[in-house]
Amino acid sequence: MNPVNHMAIIMDGNGRWGLKHRNSRNLGHKEGLKSVEMVMRYCIKKRIKFLTLYAFSTENWKRPLKERNYLFNLLEIYLKEKLEKINNEKIRIKIIGEKNFSKGLNKLLDFAEKKTIKNTKLQINLALNYGSKKELIYAFNKLKKRKGVTENDVNKSLYTKNIPDPEILVRTGNTQRLSNFLLWQIAYTEIFFEKKLWPDFKREDLNKIMKKFSKVKRNFGKI
Ligand code: IPE
Ligand code: IPE
Ligand code: MG
């Protein structure tokens, strides 16, 4: 049995789901929240301690303003509505990425992080305005005056400092690429590409992934 301590997810396919069902990409983003809730409950049940969710990339700024605003609004409403419950369930929220949204949303994100900082049941790393290359550049700049930089020094200089590398990365939405997500951290992660769009992704699909993962021989270079 391979233990799972950290699962990371590229939640892709919302737009296509929305277009297919009601000709509205934004509807897909809203529906995607149900899958987020499902995964959160799943991780708690399976005692997975870290869940990293790719919610908005540094490249997603290229989307139309209307869609971006819809996404940020959705996040704001969700947090305002659910933060109390999240905190009561002992879930910690941590943002990875650079907070450069509206003043209101930046403040809310800071508040959510501070309020939940002591929680240990599950840590959700919400990747927002996250880009792996940007994160690495941030780390390199922090380390540029240091000599003999070690792997551990890099780990400690990333946004994901103190977060162990994920054992599992899932990407939904029938696309096989990483889209600038956790490039350093997934050096030895098992990757699962799922055909289903994010809002269609269900508990059974996660069960299947966990089952497959449990049977993988993780060599880490050995035989
Ligand atoms: C992923 O779904 C969610 C975000 C990037 C915010 P998409 O919006 O990329 O959905 P598709 O890939 O266009 O269907
Ligand atoms: C990746 O999805 C980013 C998130 C899920 C937040 P995208 O839909 O933005 O990725 P590309 O553009 O298809 O690579
Ligand atoms: Mg997409």
Per-residue pLDDT of the chain (223 residues; tens, 9 = 90+): 899 999 999 999 999 999 999 999 999 999 999 999 999 999 999 999 999 999 999 999 999 999 999 999 999 999 999 999 999 999 999 999 999 999 999 999 999 999 999 999 999 999 999 999 999 999 999 999 999 999 999 999 999 999 999 999 999 999 999 999 999 999 999 999 999 999 999 999 999 999 999 999 999 999 9
Reduce the DSSP state of residue 6 to 3 states and report it. strand
| Whether 60 is catalytic | yes
User: How much distance in Å is there from the Cα of 1 to the middle of ligand 2?
Assistant: 32
DSSP state of 221: T
Task: Please tell me the predicted confidence (pLDDT) of residue 73.
Answer: 98
Ligand 2, residues at Cβ distance < 6 Å? 10-12, 54-57, 59-60, 175, 177, 179
Count of CB atoms situated within 10 Å of the CB of 47? 11
pLDDT digits (tens, 9 = 90+) for 83-136: 999 999 999 999 999 999 999 999 999 999 999 999 999 999 999 999 999 999
Q: CA–CA separation, 87 vs 67, rounded Å? A: 29
| Whether 165 is catalytic | no
- Write down the CATH number for the domain with range 6-131+167-214: 3.40.1180.10
Which residue lies with its CA nearest to atom 3 of ligand 1? 12
What residue has token string 């240091």? 146
80-77-48-189 Cα dihedral, nearest 10 degrees: -140
User: How much distance in Å is there from the Cα of 222 to the middle of ligand 3?
Assistant: 36
Q: Is 188 within 8 Å of 8 (Cβ atoms)?
A: no
Ligand 2 probe mutation, 57, 130, 174, most atoms within 8 A of CB: 57
Q: CA–CA separation, 121 vs 102, rounded Å? A: 30
Whether ligand 1 lies within 6 angstroms of the CB of 180 is answered as no
Whether ligand 1 lies within 6 angstroms of the CB of 50 is answered as no
Ligand number with the minimum distance to the CA of 67: 1
Please give the full DSSP string across 88-123, using - where no structure is assigned. HTTEEEEEES---S-HHHHHHHHHHHHHTTT--SEE
The residue extents of the domains of the chain are 6-131+167-214
What residue has token string 């289903």? 196
Q: Per residue, what are the HEC states of 144-203? A: CCCCCCCHHHHHHHCCCCCCCCCCEEEECCCCCCCCCCCCCCCCCCEEEECCCCHHHCCH
Q: What residues pack around ion ligand 3 (CB closer than 5 A)? A: 12
Reduce the DSSP state of residue 41 to 3 states and report it. helix
Chain centroid to CA 40: how far?
Answer: 11
